[in-house]
Amino acid sequence: MAMSEFGIVYAVHIITVQFGSVVSKVCECLLRKGPLSSRDISRLAESDINHNQVKDILYLLIQHNCVQAFSIEPPDGSESKAIVQYIVLFNNILHRVRYNKFSRLVNEELGSECGAVLDGLLSNGRLTLGQLIERDRGSGKTIGSEAIRDSLQKLVAARFVERIPSPEPVLGNKEQEPAKKRGAKAAKILKEPETLEERVVEAATPVDAIRFPLIFEEDAHSSLADDDSNITEGKRKQRDVDSSDPSSGVIWHPNYEEFIHRLRHKACVEIVKERRDEGCAIVLRAMLEVGRSQEKKVKTDNSAPMSIGSIYEEVIKTEAGRTMLQERVEACLDQLSATSSYLPAFVTEMNDSYIVDFKSIISVAQKDEIEAVVMRRYGKEAFRMFRYLSQEGRFVETDKIADAALTEKKDTPQFLLKMWKDGYLHMQKLAITGTYVPFLLWKVNKLIVTRQMLDEMYHASLNLNLRLAHELESEKELLMLPSDKLEGPLKERVIKVRAKRLLLSSTMFKLDDAIMLFHDF
């Protein structure tokens, strides 16, 4: 999905807060102009930044996984060299406000020691094992080099941490790539990434044996794993690494894709829990666990097929699922497979196997968010019109909308025009012979509405961030006072400031959940 105006402004704000205004100038230049060489950036950036400063800033942004270098293969017969260009990773910038969510996931699943190692990688961007150990030694709460190694292995095994991507992948020249004739099925499977950012990320991502090398350390027959993870005959050479040498070992960074993957699963379980019941949520959670290893992309429409036996086996592994008999699990699967006028099927049954329909689950939550905004902004009458048009999925004339939404025909055009002006409806005019007034047709275009919603959410998130920064800055001196000096009115002011900060932070947290629902899931 293309970046919107407020999406760019929000991303620039995140970089400004964390790295300063000079770095944000380079980032904004890349966001607005697209991929550029370092010399083009120093020429186009709206600031007096020289070429050496631009290179230092690019290295900083690469270190923190916000920029990726790449080059495009020159055309055949060309003597020119491929020029290194830099592309900003918009998604990774947005992920920087989600570090608390990522840390919570790891702490819940793998424990606090793994959480401490992850926090080091999140705050520093990229580190070797030796650097992680040195960082631990310099901290107030050391956990020891052995615990660092074990925690890193657990994080890599769970795919929360991965080896850094290729520093400068070379993309094929699309203009000279021959068009290959494929069948419909093959074309769907081998679908080319939509954006240049996705192409660059895909080209830079190594194969799994290199990306997650510690997972393959016990496979003595894998020369790829041995060569690229410093492993020989299934033994851990990491234990022989001289931790005093920060440059030794493989360089690691957080695998944002896996975190979004897990958060998407959690969101799906919560949606099913709200729309169905606790039992269905337990069964869906088990299904997601069974099929997780086979999901290669975050935005997967459907899971792999799974049998009732494998689902039940996973259900009874959990404390909540141990009381469930197989008969109850089958009843939950029937519930999840059922359709109604207001809910699609969340699970598809096929040849005694069950498939999770992620697209249907996510679309239900997206629809709820959009309709809630329409209700708050335009009222009940407009809400009924919008819902009717959403269900129809086609162009409908004004009078039919009025009849279906039970609204006055003279008021209906006003509601529809308001929603059209704000980008929530698509309008088509039909000129009819013999009449002066054009015949109006209306439709909900989900893609346009989704983009509109996202842009508004970026804007709202930006405003909340600015408001929180303003509140903290205006009360900075008050918050710095020691607690023993806070009495009477001063104490009440501090309580109010902290309550306001908590409210703004929690609102930003929930708003980011909504952004992920439309942008990442």
Instruction: Tell me phi and psi for residue 461, to 5 degrees.
Output: -65, -40
* Residue located via tokens 């020119």: 80
As a dihedral over the C-alpha atoms of residue 504, residue 507, residue 512, residue 513, rounded to 10 degrees, the angle is: 150
Last residue of a domain, one of 170, 198, 216: 170
Per the model's pLDDT, the better-predicted residue between 225 and 430 turns out to be 430
**How much is the average pLDDT of 226-236?**
38
Give tens-digit pLDDT for 44-75: 877 678 899 999 999 999 999 999 999 988 87
Per-residue pLDDT band for 79 (boundaries 50, 70, 90) equals low
Res 274 pLDDT > 50: yes
Res 246 pLDDT > 90: no
Instruction: Tell me phi and psi for residue 236, to 5 degrees.
Output: -90, 105
In a domain? residue 201: no
Q: Which of 356, 361, 362, 258 is nearest to 310 (CA)?
A: 356
**CATH number, domain containing residue 435:** 1.10.10.10
pLDDT value, residue 220: 40
In a domain? residue 323: yes
Poorest-pLDDT segment among 304-308, 406-410, 454-458:
406-410
Res 383 pLDDT > 80: yes
**In this structure, which long-range contacts are made by residues 133-138, counting pairs with CB atoms below 8 Å and at least 24 apart in sequence?**
133/243, 134/243, 134/244, 134/246
Number of domains in the chain: 5
pLDDT value, residue 73: 84
In a domain? residue 199: no
Last residue of a domain, one of 170, 199, 225: 170
Query: Do residues 453 and 416 share a domain?
Result: no
Res 192 pLDDT > 80: no
pTM of the predicted protein model: 0.85
| Domain extent for 513 | 448-520
